[in-house]
């Protein structure tokens, strides 16, 4: 075993490591803003972000992922109860995630930025410009976390009084939306359209861009795209869907999939299912999709000190805020249950399923009540808090990765930025020594695109649905359009 283990360590790929953040306090840690060392309420200050970005780059992180929601978590004690998340500072208020990217890109060279944008938030033409602009400004260090928005609190403000489409319809619309974005980014301009020939007086060769004339069930977008080709041509596609159609969307499009669970046993079949779907239905390879799991390291010099720290962190947790987050994430209003009710036997399938996973992952907790659930959530959300020494946490991360087929982790914080400082100072060096984290970026001085750092290439592989949509240099408009119509 040791020999095998050592051999595996030498040849294994380093984990994909991201910082998981959002334009709010109380991301996966409701109430922790009260911690004396926490400054997560400074999310509306630029230096909060540039500091984090530099720190993550120091730790050779792949990316900083910015989550987002477009409305508050108003299910708990609802309908439309925002008082609880407001008091608790539980993802309320929330600023726009892309606005901070250029400031962070200006102070980093290799770190990438995964930004969440919903397919219900703006017209695809308008959004495609935003995405292209960010890929240009970051020199190709952008990923798009595709979400289709599930919160009624967002929909009623965005959709002009109309209701959110039902779930499957929303994904159909999202499918069309992403297709338009692909076509605008890839099929509208040829790679070498911008020639900047000062002598001939030609900025863009007009035979090298075209309309896309998209006419779908939901959208009509003639084009052309208003921005020229960007370093990645297509930002890295991220996704976090866990429903049936969500998994299919991920299997088809995603290059990175976020997963969340308390247990690697629970994750293993879920990851395998998406990989299988990707292979069988869409012909994609095992290495075409990276799975990353949410994790909150709580690091101590000894196991006991780490446990003490964890208890100290929990003491700042906001029990009400945790239930508000739970309501937003699951749609389940915990206030409908008794304070002390055992929730493993209630009629709700979702509730029972959650409790079953937690029981597997945290077997010493015999009784899951509202309070116990809330306490669990206050450090780490619906993902695990890894409590221990750097070595112990590295063991756990390795176990999760090997057991569940995980490619990496989204590290989030209990206390911001202290948790990230500890991860970078204490945990990353241990992971690096074991070959579990990269010691350096592929091109530390000049930087690479997000996708190049991840997959070794700037563009998606031929198995990706966007691959054939790219108008490549040297291909005439007629040839390209013929290839599209095949």
**Range 314-333, binding a copy of itself (CB under 8 A):** 318
Distance in Å, CB of 226 to a copy of itself, minimum: 5
Distance in Å, CB of 172 to a copy of itself, minimum: 16
Q: Which stretch binds a copy of itself (CB under 8 A): 44-52, 410-418, 437-445, 450-458?
A: 44-52
Among positions 84-123, residues that touch a copy of itself (CB under 8 A) are: 84, 86-89, 92-96, 98-103, 105-107, 121-123
DSSP 8-state code for residue 385: E
- Specify the DSSP element, H or E, that contains 222: none
Residue with tokens 């998340």: 85
Q: How remote is the C-alpha of 158 from its chain's centroid?
A: 22
Distance in Å, CB of 203 to a copy of itself, minimum: 3
Distance separating alpha carbons of residues 317 and 33, to the nearest angstrom: 9
Among positions 280-319, residues that touch a copy of itself (CB under 8 A) are: 318
Asked if 73 interacts with a copy of itself (CB under 8 A), we say no
Distance in Å, CB of 101 to a copy of itself, minimum: 7
Beta strand pairing status for 256-259 and 214-215? unpaired
The CB density around residue 462, as the number of other CB atoms within 10 Å, is: 11
Distance in Å, CB of 123 to a copy of itself, minimum: 5
Among positions 226-285, residues that touch a copy of itself (CB under 8 A) are: 226-228, 230
Distance in Å, CB of 195 to a copy of itself, minimum: 10
DSSP 8-state code for residue 334: G
The DSSP bridge partners found for residue 107 are none
DSSP 8-state code for residue 335: G
Binding characters for a copy of itself, 4-23, by CB under 8 A (x = yes): -------------------x
The DSSP bridge partners found for residue 117 are 146
Measuring CA to CA, which residue among 85, 2, 106, 103 is closest to residue 43?
A: 103
Residue with tokens 């095992």: 286
Residues in contact with a copy of itself, total (CB under 8 A)?
79
Q: Which is nearer to a copy of itself, 72 or 408 (CB)?
A: 72
Phi then psi for 270, rounded to 5 degrees?
-65, -45
Phi then psi for 361, rounded to 5 degrees?
-80, -35
The CB density around residue 195, as the number of other CB atoms within 10 Å, is: 12
Among positions 401-460, residues that touch a copy of itself (CB under 8 A) are: none
Q: Which stretch binds a copy of itself (CB under 8 A): 12-20, 65-73, 370-378, 429-437?
A: 65-73
The DSSP bridge partners found for residue 236 are 143
Q: Which is nearer to a copy of itself, 206 or 474 (CB)?
A: 206
Report the residue from 12, 219, 245, 396 that binds a copy of itself according to the rule CB under 8 A.
219
Q: Using an 8 Å Cβ cutoff, are 250 and 239 in contact? A: yes
Q: Which stretch binds a copy of itself (CB under 8 A): 47-55, 272-280, 422-430, 455-463?
A: 47-55
Q: Which is nearer to a copy of itself, 62 or 84 (CB)?
A: 84
Distance in Å, CB of 239 to a copy of itself, minimum: 21
Distance in Å, CB of 309 to a copy of itself, minimum: 19
Phi then psi for 297, rounded to 5 degrees?
-70, 135
> Cα torsion at 465, 466, 471, 477 (round to 10°)?
50
The first and second tokens of residue 94, run together, are 């929330």
Among positions 182-201, residues that touch a copy of itself (CB under 8 A) are: 194, 196, 198, 201
Distance separating alpha carbons of residues 214 and 219, to the nearest angstrom: 8
Report the residue from 71, 297, 417, 435 that binds a copy of itself according to the rule CB under 8 A.
71
Distance in Å, CB of 327 to a copy of itself, minimum: 16
Among positions 23-42, residues that touch a copy of itself (CB under 8 A) are: 23, 25-26, 31, 33-34, 36, 41
Distance separating alpha carbons of residues 324 and 303, to the nearest angstrom: 31
Report the residue from 209, 310, 386, 441 that binds a copy of itself according to the rule CB under 8 A.
209
Q: Which is nearer to a copy of itself, 15 or 82 (CB)?
A: 82
Q: Which is nearer to a copy of itself, 198 or 486 (CB)?
A: 198
Cα angle, residue 422 at apex, residues 405 and 47 outer, rounded to 5°: 105
Distance in Å, CB of 82 to a copy of itself, minimum: 7
Among positions 125-184, residues that touch a copy of itself (CB under 8 A) are: 125-126, 129-130, 132-134, 136-138, 156-161
- Specify the DSSP element, H or E, that contains 275: helix 264-282
Distance in Å, CB of 25 to a copy of itself, minimum: 7
Measuring CA to CA, which residue among 54, 238, 56 is closest to residue 131?
A: 238
């Amino acid at each position: 075993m040791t020999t095998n283990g050592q051999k595996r360590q030498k040849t294994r790929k380093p984990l994909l490591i991201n910082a998981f953040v959002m334009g709010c306090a109380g991301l996966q840690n409701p109430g922790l803003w009260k911690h004396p060392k926490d400054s997560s309420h400074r999310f509306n200050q630029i230096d909060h972000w540039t500091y984090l970005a530099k720190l993550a780059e120091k730790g050779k992180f792949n990316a900083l992922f910015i989550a987002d929601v477009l409305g508050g978590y108003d299910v708990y004690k609802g309908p439309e109860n925002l008082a609880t998340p407001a008091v608790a500072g539980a993802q309320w208020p929330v600023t726009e995630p892309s606005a901070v990217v250029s400031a962070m890109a200006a102070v980093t060279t290799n770190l990438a930025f995964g930004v969440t944008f919903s397919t219900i938030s703006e017209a695809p033409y308008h959004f495609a410009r935003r995405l292209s602009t960010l890929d240009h400004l970051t020199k190709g260090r952008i990923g798009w976390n595709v979400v289709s928005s599930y919160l009624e609190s967002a929909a009623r403000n965005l959709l002009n009084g109309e209701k959110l489409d039902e779930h499957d319809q929303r994904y159909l619309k999202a499918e069309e939306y992403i297709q338009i974005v692909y076509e605008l980014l890839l099929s509208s301009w040829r790679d070498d359209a911008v020639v900047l020939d000062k002598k001939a007086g030609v900025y863009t060769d007009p035979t090298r861009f075209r309309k896309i004339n998209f006419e779908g069930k939901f959208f009509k977008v003639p084009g052309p795209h208003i921005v020229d080709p960007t370093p990645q041509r297509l930002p890295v596609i991220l996704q976090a869907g866990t429903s049936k159609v969500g998994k299919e969307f991920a299997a088809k499009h995603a290059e990175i999939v976020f997963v969340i669970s308390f247990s690697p046993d629970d994750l293993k079949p879920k990851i395998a299912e998406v990989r299988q779907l990707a292979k069988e239905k869409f012909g994609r390879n095992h290495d075409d999709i990276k799975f990353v799991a949410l994790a909150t390291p709580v690091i101590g010099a000894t196991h006991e000190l780490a446990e003490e720290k964890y208890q100290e962190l929990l003491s700042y947790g906001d029990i009400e805020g945790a239930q508000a987050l739970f309501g937003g994430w699951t749609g389940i209003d915990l206030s409908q249950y008794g304070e002390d009710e055992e929730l493993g036997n209630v009629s709700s399938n979702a509730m029972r399923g959650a409790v079953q996973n937690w029981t597997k992952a945290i077997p010493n907790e015999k009784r899951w009540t509202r309070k116990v659930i809330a306490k669990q959530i206050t450090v780490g959300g619906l993902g695990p808090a890894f409590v221990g020494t750097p070595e112990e946490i590295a063991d756990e991360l390795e176990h999760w990765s090997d057991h569940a087929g995980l490619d990496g982790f989204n590290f989030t914080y209990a206390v911001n930025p202290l948790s990230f400082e500890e991860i970078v100072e204490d945990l990353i060096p241990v992971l690096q020594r074991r070959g579990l984290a990269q010691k350096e970026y592929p091109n530390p001085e000049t930087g690479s695109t997000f996708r190049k750092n991840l997959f070794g290439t700037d563009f998606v592989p031929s198995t990706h649905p966007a691959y054939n949509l790219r108008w490549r240099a040297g291909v005439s408009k007629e040839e390209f359009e013929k290839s599209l119509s095949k």
